[in-house]
Structure 1
């Protein structure tokens, strides 16, 4: 395994902010685990709005098998397996990520939402739109009537699509209560919409279902928030943990981000790790084990700017 990344600042860059991202996941099992296979999405993406300068993932105990690959959505995955008994598992991902400001956006210049909706369905002789994959329901964000009904007031006739998405984000933020005790990791959008309580994962799944209910393409984004706000800014909900938000596809502007948990479009405070149809595609760490009994889980995340 490579040596840990140094915590010392890297040379400054003229664009954006450079972050040190540390994500620790620790399992303690009540009985030995005999066999285990795990899949991790912990490597930040390389995109126009950010660049992962360095990344390392340290795993204890040392896996018997370890590999990496890139999935169909461009996410970097790490997979590892254990064939000997163990009673603990610790995964420590450490990254240096340079985040750049998102380009200025004129939401009013986006096409009417009906125009975008009509681009996505396949018809004979019509060009295939790859983004249409994200207009279909998925496990955590199915297409269901209540979500479409909830979205409808935001998408009045001929309204620019991105203005409608912004209004939907603001309504979800206003109507929902951030409550970590109200839902579980397996909570799906129909239940979260009924509760009007939840965490970032629930806010994102509801917004995705609502957008898909209007025939639009929407996907789930996992990542992190800056742990401590800049002077004069408020603390964002979801900091010091994995965070989730939403992207909706526009044929003019591409994929555009919305964070309903914090009622804002992502900025320099958001670090992107993976994108998928919903949480099931890009869970930070999941696996299948034999044995283990009960377990306790501890997760710690810290996102710190290395220079102003």
Structure 2
């Protein structure tokens, strides 16, 4: 078990005074068997007129703020401390029926998984289908675990990571053509590729711990919010895959929100109004620290 602390600060600056509309903040992790929230605080400046908490359709915890008056800056600081338990086993147990691809989900689970299996991006020429089927073994069975781990690592090794500050997410086909993208682009690509094979997949937004004890970062995507995906596997449930870093399992990943696609798991979004066209800038700083002293244990292999 590890204790992580996260300090996430988002600052919007406006060229002229503006009136802030409603803002929604998806920043509070949910307790689970592998992470337990110990402390959480949310500081907003200017102070909101109202602040209420709701759970969205995916059961993510969302803070909804409204404001009064005018301001030239909005600053949101999220602080959390949580216990995190990485997977330590030598093997990932799948039901016998799911050890080889293809397999069928249980009839009772299929209705609840249907929207996560459904493809969300058009592929009119079948380009994504052809690409992902390169990871299958024609004429002989393909182990499910080998298939998904190979796909995850192929994106890490075959695509160039770039931090993108602009809004939005590339389509799977755009990322496939460009061979580069951000963590949310890679998560979207692998989700759509998995769905093309009939897997249930969903988007995850959260934080990444980047060990830096020796002055060398082991992971890409630190210093900001991070994105990866989960795939539902019978016998194991929702399994984490981070194609940006080739991670399988939850090691160094702090899960905050899940959704069917990236636009449904934006950490912070809202609106503002001004009498004239007003430019704005956004600055995001995320620091994830481990307590006690930083350790670099070797990551266990997960054989699916």
Instruction: Report the TM range for the smaller structure's normalisation.
Output: 0.7 to 0.9
Paired position in structure 1 for 2:194: 211
**Once the 2 structures are TM-superposed, how far is the Cα of residue 65 of structure 1 from its aligned partner?**
1.6
Give the 3-state SS of the residue equivalent to 2:32 in structure 1. coil
Give the 3-state SS of the residue equivalent to 1:119 in structure 2. coil
Q: For residues 216 and 135 of structure 1, what CA distance do their matches in structure 2 show?
A: 6
Indicate conservation of the 8 Å contact 2:187/2:227, yes or no.
yes
5+ unaligned residues in a row in structure 2: which ranges?
294-304
**Once the 2 structures are TM-superposed, how far is the Cα of residue 239 of structure 1 from its aligned partner?**
1.1
Matches within 5 A, 1:287-306: 287-291=270-274, 293-306=278-291
**Once the 2 structures are TM-superposed, how far is the Cα of residue 182 of structure 1 from its aligned partner?**
10
Matches within 5 A, 1:115-264: 115=103, 118-119=104-105, 126-129=107-110, 130-138=112-120, 142=121, 144=123, 145-156=126-137, 158-180=141-163, 185-230=168-213, 234-264=217-247
**Once the 2 structures are TM-superposed, how far is the Cα of residue 304 of structure 1 from its aligned partner?**
0.6
**Once the 2 structures are TM-superposed, how far is the Cα of residue 193 of structure 1 from its aligned partner?**
1.5
TM-score (norm 2): 0.86
**Once the 2 structures are TM-superposed, how far is the Cα of residue 91 of structure 1 from its aligned partner?**
0.3
5+ unaligned residues in a row in structure 1: which ranges?
1-15, 121-125
Provide runs of 4+ in structure 1 moved above 6 Å.
none
Q: For residues 269 and 227 of structure 2, what CA distance do their matches in structure 1 show?
A: 17
Q: For residues 163 and 103 of structure 1, what CA distance do their matches in structure 2 show?
A: 19
**Once the 2 structures are TM-superposed, how far is the Cα of residue 247 of structure 1 from its aligned partner?**
0.8
Give the 3-state SS of the residue equivalent to 1:205 in structure 2. helix
TM-score (norm 1): 0.85
Indicate conservation of the 8 Å contact 2:4/2:83, yes or no.
yes
2:18 corresponds to which of 17, 28, 33: 33
**Once the 2 structures are TM-superposed, how far is the Cα of residue 108 of structure 1 from its aligned partner?**
8.0
Q: For residues 112 and 158 of structure 1, what CA distance do their matches in structure 2 show?
A: 6
**Once the 2 structures are TM-superposed, how far is the Cα of residue 155 of structure 1 from its aligned partner?**
3.1
Indicate conservation of the 8 Å contact 2:153/2:243, yes or no.
yes
Q: For residues 273 and 183 of structure 1, what CA distance do their matches in structure 2 show?
A: 21
